Amino acid sequence: MFTRIPTVLRSQELIDKSFLKASKITEPYHPKIEDKIRKEIIDRISTIESITCTHLLKLVKKFPTIEKLHPFYEDMIDLMFDVDQYKVSLSKAQWAAERIQVLSTEIIGQLKKSKTIEKLNRLMKEYYGRYSSIIKSIDKDLQFLSKCRDWMRKIPDIDAEMPTFIIAGMPNVGKSSLLSKLTGNEPKVAIYPFTTQTISIGYMQLNNQKIQIIDTPGILDRPMEERNEMEIKSILSLRDIKGVIIFLIDPTGHSSYTMEQQENLYREVKQRFTSPIIRVQTKADLTEERIEKLAVSTSTMQGFDTLKEVMTSMIGMR
Ligand SMILES: Nc1nc2c(ncn2[C@@H]2O[C@H](COP(=O)(O)OP(=O)(O)O)[C@@H](O)[C@H]2O)c(=O)[nH]1
Ligand SMILES: [Mg+2]
């Protein structure tokens, strides 16, 4: 999702990069030495301006506008860094680019009117000095934006607009098995911010529509009371994904969790999330007992057709 945000150079890096490029510029022979020097300095300044403004304006353009993002990303970002500071830092980048453009135009104008080599060199020095101080004045902002970029790249690549099913249930009830049997592919795995957990994302077609299934190992599988505040907030951001929850229940004892533990988790998920919830019994091959209308087995594939029908009927319910 946020993989296209460009790397942010620190002030000194940007200065070094521009100056290095500028230093390589040499003018061919001119009959008058002042003309040669003037042309060279003007070209250098234009190069510095162009490299710098391209970089800064690319940041302004490619860093996302937070308000335009889906609430899920907005919430995540809100947990990660100070959004007001983010906006300030981006506008400082814009400001610096504009200042550099004005400065370059001003100095180039003066260069064109200057006759002596001494005056030309003095203007070049002045430009380098004023340029550097503008760029250095936004170093904190560039540093901050670089950190924001690192954070944003950690947000899992959930497509917030795609119909989504979120698999929940205690550990070992069969979440991962169901995901891989439904999607038939290796899921994408991402670290879930502020937790020590990962989430897996898989895709499948239901009724000619691409849907996304999220397996939440360690995320929707234990009571919130065992979690710290950041972890809770981060998990609750999943509420913004308007998905349907598939809550798996393993009544066989195979998962080593009691029905009571599983029902407690169910109640908690139901209370915290407003999404519709489909309850599904798992490991139906291990027992004749049916405690839910829907019962599936990833060993025998029984119940899969019915589950898919129910899922299809729920697409677009939220
Ligand atoms: N017999 C049987 N075992 C299953 C079924 N689904 C999962 N398992 C087994 O249950 C264990 C836990 O499954 P897993 O998908 O990793 O559960 P998760 O922790 O909820 O992701 C694994 O050993 C699976 O092979 C099923 O339908 N039938
Ligand atoms: Mg698992």
Distance between Cα 211 and ligand 1 center (Å): 23
154 vs 164: CA distance, rounded Å = 20
> Residue 169 CA: which ligand is closest?
1
Nearest to 196 by CA among 173, 227, 174: 227
What's the 173 CA to ligand 1 centre distance in angstroms?
6
Distance 281 CA to ligand 2 centre (A): 16
Take atom 6 of ligand 1 and give the residue whose Cα is closest.
174
CA of 182 to the centre of ligand 2 (A): 14
Q: How confident is the model at residue 128 (pLDDT cuts 50, 70, 90)?
A: very high
Residue 131 above 70 pLDDT? yes
224 pLDDT band, cuts 50/70/90, is confident
- Amino acid identity, position 8: V
Q: Which residues of 206-216 are buried (b: 16+ CB within 10 A; e: fewer)?
A: beeeebbbbbb
Atom of ligand 1 nearest to the CA of 254: 10
Are the beta carbons of 140 and 11 closer than 8 angstroms? Answer: no
* Torsion sign across C-alpha atoms 307, 313, 314, 316: positive
Q: Whose CA is nearest to atom 12 of ligand 1?
A: 172
> Quick check: 51 and 104 in contact, CB under 8 A?
no
Assess whether pLDDT exceeds 60 at residue 41.
Answer: yes
DSSP tag of 295: B
Question: Which domains does the chain possess?
Answer: 11-152 (1.20.120.1190), 164-314 (3.40.50.300)
CA 178 to ligand 1: nearest atom: 15
Nearest atom in ligand 1 to 300's CA: 27
Residue 317 is predicted with a pLDDT of: 66
Contact 135, 14 (CB under 8 A): yes
Distances (CA, A) of 97 to 31, 92, 102, 138: 35, 9, 9, 11
Give per-residue pLDDT as tens, 237-253: 999 998 999 999 999 99
- What's the mean per-residue pLDDT of the chain? 95
pLDDT, tens only, 68-84: 999 999 999 999 999 99
Ligand 1, atom 3, residue with closest C-alpha? 283
Flag whether pLDDT at 9 surpasses 70: yes
Cβ atoms within 10 Å, residue 278: 20
Q: Which residue type occupies 150? A: D
Residue 308 above 90 pLDDT? yes
- Rounded to an integer, the average pLDDT of 208-223 is 92
Q: What's the confidence (pLDDT) of residue 3?
A: 87
The pLDDT tens digits of the residues spanning 144-183 come to 999 999 999 999 999 998 999 999 999 999 999 999 999 9
pLDDT at 27 over 90: no
Phi, psi (rounded to 5 degrees) for 305: -60, -45
Q: Are strands 209-215 and 198-206 parallel, antiparallel or unpaired?
A: antiparallel
Q: Is 70 exceeded by the pLDDT of residue 318?
A: no
Does the structure show a pLDDT above 80 at 261?
A: yes
pLDDT tens, 95-116? 999 999 999 999 999 999 999 9
In this structure, the dihedral spanned by the alpha carbons of residues 259, 263, 264 and 269, taken in order and rounded to 10 degrees, is 140
174 lines ligand 1 (CB under 6 A): yes
Q: Is the CB of 175 under 6 A from ligand 1?
A: yes
